Amino acid sequence: MKKSLLVASTVLVNGLLISQVSNAATVEFWTAQTQSDRLQTIELLASTFEALNDGVTVKVVGVDENEMATQMAAAVAAGTTPQLIEVNSEIIMALGEEGIVDTQTHQGVVGDIGKSRFHTGALTTLTSPEGQYYGLPYHGWIQGIWYRKDWFDEKGLAAPNTWENIETAAKALTDKANNQYGILVGTKQDSYTEQVFTQLALSNNAAEFDDKGDLIFNSPATLETIQYYKELAKYNPPGPQNWRARDYYLQGKMGMFFYSTYIMDDLALAEVAKGSLSSENFKELSGGTFDPKLVKNTAFTPIITHKSAASYGTLSGLVALKTKSAEDAQATKDFIEFMYDPASYITFLHMAPGGMNPMLKGIAEDPAYLDDPNGVFKLYGADKMKQIVSGFDDIRSFSVVQGKTFPASGAIFAKSVIPRMIYDVTIENKDPQQALNSAEAEMKTIMGK
């Protein structure tokens, strides 16, 4: 409580400088942060904004990221579209193509804050081919392999930063008879699977589009990646797996797993780990006590190299949606700018230290940012933090090719074409080339619409 009061007062003082909106207006804000503690923080920011702006109501609604597109469609059909949403870039690009995004508000915010203050790559990712901003980058994460450094040292294994090293280590660390697994790659039909696959595919120079926007997914490079992926999946725990299986790592039953920087606080803090272990996977199964050495024994490789070096990450952005009321639009714009104000911005990013990285230059060096309430950044130390964020410079995805964005990639993502292809190959034992052919056919259908 003390903490939140402190946060509220700093935000309040900073926020006083922001212009006042006097007319009655509503900002319904859908956020993909559905955990109750995160929602509380966002509510706090919203109330602060309300206190600063007479007559403005901010309504915070938590919506699961995988459900966001569907919920949006229902809301648009029912005429109850929210004013603002926060969601990942792929969904943003798909929504942008649907013609419901208020690009003018985005233009205005970028103008007010200053284009040069945004990280260029981040802003490009959310820009339409016609140069409109489909969303505003707010926070981003990078993904890589987190692994048991102590086990690797014991067995004399090299860091899992190349395809060969990963496979060797996965094999060496798997002992299924004793319920031990070498690695976890996603095999369920959800976005986690796509994220893991994308990083491996990018490291093999596979792509969805060429720089003209033509589909080039069905290539030898992609096929090779699928075959390699299938090999890795052999060292998975049985059956379709997704990110929830990171609990197996926290329980000490797994050697390596792909995850974003969001795992940092789970590894470092007993309280967080306990919370995430028991909330969905039942208390009795939390796998014993928290391993305080885990944070020391865990290492991270953000970059995987095969034919080229690739790190993978995604960013989440704020998206203002078209609304009939000018007051609502203005209030939304003010609220977005309030969310970019350093005090509120840092409060937001501190919900997941390391997981949420700032998209505005200068925030990361801010001493207030480096002093997170739980001391996660201190636990990791400056050097490790620097290494982790280094992957962020080389953030790549399927939707941006040589600085050009192809929104169709968002629609393909939203339809889970790639995860289903992976599921077919790894779980249903479908022939990789056949699975690739049908994925390509499906992508063409989506792009034809």
Partner 1 sequence: MSSILVKNEAQLGLKLVAPAVGIIGLLVIYPILFNIYLSFFDVQLNGSKTFVGLDNYTDLLGNPRYYHSVGVSIVYLIGTVVGTTVLGLAASILMNQEFRFRNLARGLILLPYFAPVISVVFGWQFIFDPVNGIYNHVVVDVLHLTNERENLIGNPDSALFVVILFDIWKHFPIAYLLFLAKLQSVPKDLYEAAAIDGQNAWGRFWHVTLPELRFVIATVVLLRIIWNLNRFEDVYLLAPNVETLPIFTYYQAFAGIVDQGGAAAISVIQLLVLVGLIWLYVRKVLKW
Q: Using CB under 8 A, which of the segments 90-98, 136-144, 146-154, 358-366 binds partner 1?
A: 90-98
| Residues 105-124, mask of contacts with partner 1 (x by CB under 8 A) | --------------------
- Reported for 12-18, long-range contacts at CB under 8 A and 24+ positions apart, including other chains, are 12/48, 12/51, 12/52, 13/343, 14/341, 14/342, 14/343, 14/344, 15/48, 15/49, 15/52, 15/338, 15/341, 15/343, 15/344, 16/52, 18/52, 18/334, 18/337, 18/338, 18/341
Question: Measured between alpha carbons, how far is residue 301 from residues 200, 224, 391 in Å?
Answer: 13, 22, 9
CB of 115 to partner 1, least distance (A): 27
What pairs with residue 180 in β-bridges? 175
**Binding to partner 1 by residue 449, rule CB under 8 A?**
yes
State which residue, 223 or 427, has the beta carbon closest to partner 1.
Answer: 427
Cβ 248 to partner 1, closest distance in Å? 5
* Nearest-approach distance from CB 270 to partner 1, in angstroms: 19
With binding defined as CB under 8 A, does residue 317 bind partner 1? no
Which residue of 32, 95, 336, 352 would you call a contact of partner 1, by CB under 8 A?
95
Closest by Cα among 188, 127, 209, 230 to 446: 209
- Write out the binding residues for partner 1, residues 346-405 only, by CB under 8 A: none
The two structure tokens encoding residue 169:
């280590």
Question: What is the DSSP annotation of 337-389?
Answer: HHHHSHHHHHHHHTTSBTTBEESBTTTTT-HHHHS-TT-HHHHHHHHHHHHHH
Please tell me whether residue 176 binds partner 1 under the rule CB under 8 A. Answer: yes
Nearest distance, CB of residue 417 and partner 1, angstroms: 9
Among 42, 72, 310, 352, binds partner 1 (CB under 8 A): 72
Report the C-alpha gap between 181 and 184 in whole angstroms.
8
| Residue 220 contacts partner 1 per CB under 8 A | no
User: Rule CB under 8 A: which of 228-287 touch partner 1?
Assistant: 237-241, 245, 248, 251, 253, 280-282, 285, 287
Which helix (H) or strand (E) segment is 144 a member of? Answer: strand 136-148
Using the contact rule CB under 8 A, the part of the chain among 50-58, 176-184, 312-320, 387-395 near partner 1 is 176-184
Asked whether 412 and 389 are in contact (CB, 8 A), the reply is no
Residues forming the site for partner 1 (CB under 8 A): 69-70, 72-74, 76-77, 91, 94-95, 98-100, 176-177, 179, 181, 188-189, 237-241, 245, 248, 251, 253, 280-282, 285, 287, 322, 411, 413-416, 420, 423, 427-428, 438, 445, 449
